[in-house]
Structure 1
Amino acid sequence: MKRLILFFSLSFLISTTAFAQNTEVWVVRHAEKDKTNPEDKDPNLSDEGRIRAADLAIYLKKVKFDVGFSTPYKRTHQTLDSLIIPKVINYKDPKSLVDSVKKNYVGKTIIVAGHSNTVLEIIEAFGGKRPMEMLTDDDYDYIFRLTVKDDKAKVKKDQFGRPHHL
C-alpha cells in the first residue's frame, strides 16, 4: 500500500512539473559590427561591439544558460562568446528556432542572438507581444527576457551596456 501511494505521489509530482514548465528565453541583437568595409557581408564585431559583448556577459553573469542560438554570422556568434554557454546552435529563421526550442529545450534557459530585423519577429514567434514597434540599425542595447509557457510568452524589455539612446 505504501508503495502504491508513493508511486501515485511521484507520478502526480512529475506530471504536474512537466505541464507547468516555463522556458526562459533571452533575446538580444548582435553587438555593433565593423562597418569599415561596406562590401563585407559577414563582418566581425567592432571594438565598440566587443565592449558591448563584454557588457552583456556582465549583465547576464548570474544566468545559467543551457543552450544558445545564433544565426550563422560572425557578429552573432561573437556577441555570445563572452557568455558561458555549453552549446551554441545555428538557426536560420524564427520558426525553425521556436520549433527546435519547443522540441528539445522546454523548461531550459536559452539565449538567442539575432538581428535588428529579426529580434521582434522572434519574440512574436514565441507567442509574445512586441515590446516596441521596431528596432533600428542603431539599437544595440536592448535585451528581452521571455517567460514562455506553451504558445504564450511574457516579455520584459531592458537595456545593458552603454545606452545607445543618449
Structure 2
Amino acid sequence: MLARLFSYVLLLTGLMGLVNCSSKGEEPAPAPAPPVITTVYLLRHAERDDASHPTDPTLSAAGQARAEELSKLLAPTAPAALFTTDFRRTRGTLAPLAATANLVPQVYDAGQPTVLAALVRAQYAGKMVVIVGHSNTVLPQIEAFGAPRPLAEIRDTEYNHLFKLTITSGATPTVVASKYGQ
C-alpha cells in the first residue's frame, strides 16, 4: 500500500511538472501597444490690419473672415489645446476657434520652438492641438517637432498655409501642406 501511494505521488509530481513546462511555452506574447498619434495643425496668423497699430496690429476684415474659416475647418476635429504667440493678430486668428471649442489659448514663446514641441509631446500625446505663429516661426516650429520643412519659406503676403503634422510614436513625424480660406 505504501509502495502504491509512493507511485501515485511520483506520477502526480511528474504530471504537474509536464503541465508547468507546457504552459510556460504556450503563453502568448503580449500584444504590442498601439502607436500613439498626435496631430498638430500649424499656421501663420491671418491677414493683419497694419493701420490699426504699428507693431501689434489686429486682424483686417479679410483676416477676421479667414479666422472664421479656420474655426469651421478645425472645430469638428475637437482640439485639446490651442497655442498662440502674444500678439493681437495671432490671438485674433484663434479667437473664433477658441470660442467654438471652449478653450483658452495658451501663449508660447515662438523663439523657443523646441520648448513648445516638448510640451505638446509630453502633455498632448494622442490628441490634436493648433499652433498659430508667424511667417518666420511656423516652419522652424515644424522642424522642432522633427519633421522636414514642407516649404522653403512663407512669404510675407501669404496667409493661407495650413500644415498638418502627424506625430506617430516610434516613427518620424510627417507633415502635409494645404491651404485654407479665400
Q: TM-score band (shorter)?
A: 0.7 to 0.9
Going from structure 1 to structure 2, the CA distance change for 1:148 and 1:16 (only over 3 Å counts) comes to same
Q: What are the Cα deviations for residues 32-87 of structure 1, in whole angstroms up to 9, with x where unaligned?
A: 111115x6211111111101111112222421100011111111111011112523
In structure 1, distance between residues paired with 2:181 and 2:135: 17
In structure 2, distance between residues paired with 1:62 and 1:106: 19
Query: Once the two structures are aligned, what percentage of the paired residues are identical?
Result: 34
Q: Does 1:63 align with 2:77?
A: yes
Task: Find 1:81's aligned residue among 95, 106, 113.
Answer: 95
Task: Find 1:91's aligned residue among 96, 108, 130.
Answer: 108
In structure 1, distance between residues paired with 2:134 and 2:102: 20
Higher helix fraction: Structure 1 or Structure 2?
A: 2
In structure 2, distance between residues paired with 1:21 and 1:128: 17
Task: Find 1:121's aligned residue among 129, 133, 140.
Answer: 140
- Which range moves more in the overlay, 49-58 or 79-88? 79-88
Structure 1 unaligned runs (5+)? Answer: 1-8
Structure 2 unaligned runs (5+)? Answer: 1-27
The code of the aligned residue for 1:65 comes to P
Going from structure 1 to structure 2, the CA distance change for 1:85 and 1:142 (only over 3 Å counts) comes to farther
After TM superposition, where is structure 1 displaced by more than 3 Å over at least 4 residues in a row? Answer: none
Give the SS at the match of 1:155: strand
In structure 2, distance between residues paired with 1:113 and 1:56: 11
In structure 2, distance between residues paired with 1:161 and 1:143: 10
Q: What are the Cα deviations for residues 80-137 of structure 1, in whole angstroms up to 9, with x where unaligned?
A: 1111252311110311111211221111100000100011111111111111110010
Larger radius of gyration: 2
In structure 1, distance between residues paired with 2:122 and 2:160: 30
Query: What TM-score, normalized by structure 2, do the two folds share?
Result: 0.75
Aligned to 2:46: 31
1:129-148 to 2 correspondences below 5 Å? 129-148=148-167
In structure 1, distance between residues paired with 2:63 and 2:96: 12
Aligned to 2:126: 107
Count of aligned pairs: 149
Aligned to 2:55: 41
**RMSD of aligned alpha carbons:** 2.0
In structure 2, distance between residues paired with 1:87 and 1:152: 30
Give the SS at the match of 2:147: coil
In structure 1, distance between residues paired with 2:82 and 2:166: 16
- Which range moves more in the overlay, 144-153 or 114-123? 144-153
